[in-house]
């Protein structure tokens, strides 16, 4: 009987302890942090470490390189301890949103074109640029503008990139198709796809980012002054849905003829290694310029980069250089100045960027690109040349932002293309239905 009593008490205490232990851990750290923030100045002299949290999304190569740079910085600054987390992009944004909801956003976090949603969580960097913590003397206003919003420097670009079409010149030659030039059109693309499919019995083209190709670029290709999303980010930037029809029709036709993978085959592509251009089952694929290096390495044969096809050969290119992503400092950060200092190192330090090697895109700092030159592989040179080529194209005012609810709109576009492929709609009705859906998302 006594044993039983003792046991009950013991278990009860254990339960209570384990519960409170979970809780007290959290309150402990937060007490710690607020304690630290009161004497930021002293912490470094105390030898107490400043902890900065950082997160990004990307591929394994990116994780390895970024971690190497973090360790390099920690070695030089013994008082800084950087805790990092990395995800694939879906997981990253799910995590970020839960952190936003609980006011615990990482001190330094990566953001792309959907940054306006997070504005309330971002510390603008203008003060740190003015005070010289972030050194922007080696870059230009044009580059800085790619990550400005309503006159504030939201972050600084980790590198710029642009989209293009990677292709296998040997396959083009074998099929007797001329290699694309920088004025090729969607008609040329479709013809090339069909010819290669007929001659070589493979897909003409692997998976394209249909939304960027057909909508973001497609609208600007129709009229240099138009954007898919309005510059004010509160609606669509065009009002003629028929501008979308041609691309949808072309995509459905190519799928029908077997020159483009059907939706089932598309869903089998998991990563760059599985891309049909890499596996030799297609002659072309859609690629971001900074991914061209990984794509070429995975393919193990010579690939070239072509510009995105145009609607008409003398019409606008519709493509522009953009910030591939940036790092921002969060409002939840206890040490924004230290974070800015680290990011300055990340963006502008020559040794650090030899390691990063432009994997996030071509650096916007001239001192960095200069020191990178001797180490560049031929693919990296090709990618940089390509960015410079696209940068020389005439563009209108480009909207770099993907306003909410961009994800629902992009998914719906893919769905509409599938409905046209399966004959549920004509391309014209599909374009109309999609336009109305996209518009209704802003109401």
Partner 1 sequence: MKGNVKSAARKFIYRESTVGYVFALPFIIGFLGFTLIPIVSSLYYSFTDYNLIQKESWIGANNYMRLLHDERFWKSLKVTLRYVLLSVPSKLCFALFVAMILTRTTKLTGFYRSLFYVPSLIGGSIAVALVWKELFSRKGLINQILGIVDIKAVSWFGDQKMALIPLILMTVWQFGSSMIIFAAGLKQIPGTYYEAAKIDGANRFRAFLHITLPGLSPVILYNLIMQTISAFMSFTQAFVITQGGPNDATNFYALYVYDNAFEYYDMGYASAMSWVMLAIMSLITLVIFKSSKHWVFSEAGN
Nearer to partner 1, 396 or 433 (CB): 433
Residue at token pair 């070239």: 304
Nearer to partner 1, 302 or 424 (CB): 424
Contact 174, 280 (CB under 8 A): no
HEC states along 333-372?
A: CCCHHHHHHHHHHHHHCHHHHHHHCCCCCECCCHHHHHHH
Pairing status of strand 80-87 against strand 156-161: unpaired
Contact 353, 368 (CB under 8 A): yes
As measured in angstroms, the least distance from the Cβ of 68 to partner 1 is 30
As measured in angstroms, the least distance from the Cβ of 117 to partner 1 is 6
As measured in angstroms, the least distance from the Cβ of 255 to partner 1 is 9
| Binding flag, residue 264, partner 1 (CB under 8 A) | yes
* Region of residue 436 (phi > 0: left; psi between -120 and 50: alpha; otherwise: beta): alpha
As measured in angstroms, the least distance from the Cβ of 280 to partner 1 is 13
Q: Computed from CA positions of residues 89, 95, 96, 101, in that sequence, does the dihedral angle turn out positive or negative?
A: positive
Nearer to partner 1, 19 or 381 (CB): 19
The encoded tokens of residue 308 equal: 């995105």
| Binding flag, residue 57, partner 1 (CB under 8 A) | no
Contact 352, 196 (CB under 8 A): no
Stretch that binds partner 1, among 10-18, 80-88, 122-130, 213-221 (CB under 8 A): 10-18
| Binding flag, residue 268, partner 1 (CB under 8 A) | yes
HEC states along 89-157?
A: HHHHHHHHHHHHHCCCCCCEEEECCCHHHHHHHEECCHHHHHCCCCCCCCCCHHHHHCCEECCEECCEE
Nearer to partner 1, 140 or 422 (CB): 422
| Binding flag, residue 132, partner 1 (CB under 8 A) | no
As measured in angstroms, the least distance from the Cβ of 293 to partner 1 is 28
* From 46, 89, 104, 263, residue interacting with partner 1 (rule: CB under 8 A): 263
For residue 105, list its beta bridge partners.
Answer: none
As measured in angstroms, the least distance from the Cβ of 385 to partner 1 is 36
Nearer to partner 1, 18 or 38 (CB): 18
As measured in angstroms, the least distance from the Cβ of 36 to partner 1 is 27
As measured in angstroms, the least distance from the Cβ of 426 to partner 1 is 15
Stretch that binds partner 1, among 43-51, 93-101, 162-170, 344-352 (CB under 8 A): 93-101
Number of Cβ atoms within 10 Å of the Cβ of 234:
9
* From 19, 61, 178, 231, residue interacting with partner 1 (rule: CB under 8 A): 19
Stretch that binds partner 1, among 39-47, 74-82, 283-291, 417-425 (CB under 8 A): 417-425
| Binding flag, residue 373, partner 1 (CB under 8 A) | no
Radius of gyration of the chain (CA): 25
As measured in angstroms, the least distance from the Cβ of 405 to partner 1 is 6
Q: Computed from CA positions of residues 270, 272, 273, 277, in that sequence, does the dihedral angle turn out positive or negative?
A: positive
Contact set for partner 1, span 393-412 (CB under 8 A): 404-405, 407-408, 411
The long-range contacts involving 415-423, CB below 8 angstroms and separated by at least 24 positions, are 416/248, 417/210, 417/248, 417/251, 417/252, 418/263, 420/248, 420/249, 420/251, 420/252, 421/251, 421/252, 421/255, 421/256, 421/262, 421/263
* From 3, 21, 41, 101, residue interacting with partner 1 (rule: CB under 8 A): 101
* From 50, 55, 80, 117, residue interacting with partner 1 (rule: CB under 8 A): 117
Return phi, psi of residue 8, to 5°: -60, -50
* From 51, 67, 100, 144, residue interacting with partner 1 (rule: CB under 8 A): 100
Number of Cβ atoms within 10 Å of the Cβ of 267:
10
Nearer to partner 1, 100 or 144 (CB): 100
Interacting residues with partner 1 (CB under 8 A): 5, 8-9, 11-12, 15, 19, 90, 94, 97-98, 100-101, 117-118, 261-265, 267-268, 404-405, 407-408, 411, 415, 418-419, 421-422, 424
């Amino acid at each position: 009987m006594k044993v039983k009593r003792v046991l009950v008490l013991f278990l009860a205490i254990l339960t209570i302890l384990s519960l409170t232990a979970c809780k007290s851990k959290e309150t402990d750290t937060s007490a710690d942090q607020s304690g630290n923030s009161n004497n930021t100045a002293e912490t470094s002299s105390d030898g107490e470490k400043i902890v900065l949290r950082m997160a990004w999304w990307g591929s394994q190569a990116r994780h390895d390189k970024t971690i190497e740079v973090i360790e390099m910085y920690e070695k030089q600054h013994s008082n800084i301890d950087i805790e990092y987390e990395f995800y694939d992009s879906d997981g990253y944004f799910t995590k970020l949103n839960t952190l936003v909801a609980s006011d615990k956003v990482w001190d330094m976090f990566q953001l792309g074109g959907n940054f306006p949603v997070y504005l309330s969580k971002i510390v603008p960097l203008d003060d740190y640029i003015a005070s010289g913590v972030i050194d922007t003397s080696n870059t230009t206003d044009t580059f800085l503008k790619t990550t400005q919003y309503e006159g504030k420097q939201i972050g600084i670009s980790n590198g710029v990139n642009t989209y293009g079409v990677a292709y296998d010149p040997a396959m083009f030659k074998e099929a007797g198709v001329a290699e694309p030039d920088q004025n090729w059109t969607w008609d040329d693309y479709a013809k090339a796809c069909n010819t290669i499919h007929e001659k070589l019995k493979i897909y003409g083209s692997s998976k394209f980012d249909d939304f960027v190709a057909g909508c973001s670029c497609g609208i600007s290709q129709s009229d240099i002054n138009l954007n898919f999303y309005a510059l004010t980010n509160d609606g669509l930037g065009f009002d003629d849905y028929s501008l979308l029809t041609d691309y949808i029709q072309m995509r459905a036709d190519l799928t029908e003829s077997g020159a483009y993978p059907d939706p089932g085959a598309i869903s089998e592509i998991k990563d760059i290694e599985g891309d049909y251009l890499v596996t030799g089952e297609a002659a072309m694929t859609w690629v971001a310029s900074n991914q061209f290096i990984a794509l070429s390495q995975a393919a193990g044969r010579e690939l070239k980069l072509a510009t995105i096809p145009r609607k008409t050969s003398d019409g606008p290119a519709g493509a522009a250089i953009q910030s591939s992503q940036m790092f921002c400092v969060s409002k939840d950060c206890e040490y924004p100045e230290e974070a800015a200092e680290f990011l300055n190192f990340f963006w502008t330090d020559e040794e650090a960027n030899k390691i990063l090697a432009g994997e996030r895109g071509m650096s916007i700092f001239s001192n960095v690109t200069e020191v990178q030159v001797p180490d560049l592989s031929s693919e990296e040179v090709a990618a940089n040349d390509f960015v410079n080529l696209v940068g020389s194209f005439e563009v209108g005012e480009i909207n770099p932002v993907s306003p909410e609810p961009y994800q629902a709109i992009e998914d719906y576009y893919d769905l509409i293309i599938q409905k046209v492929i399966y004959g549920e709609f004509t391309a014209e009705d599909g374009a109309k239905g999609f336009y109305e859906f996209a518009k209704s998302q802003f109401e």
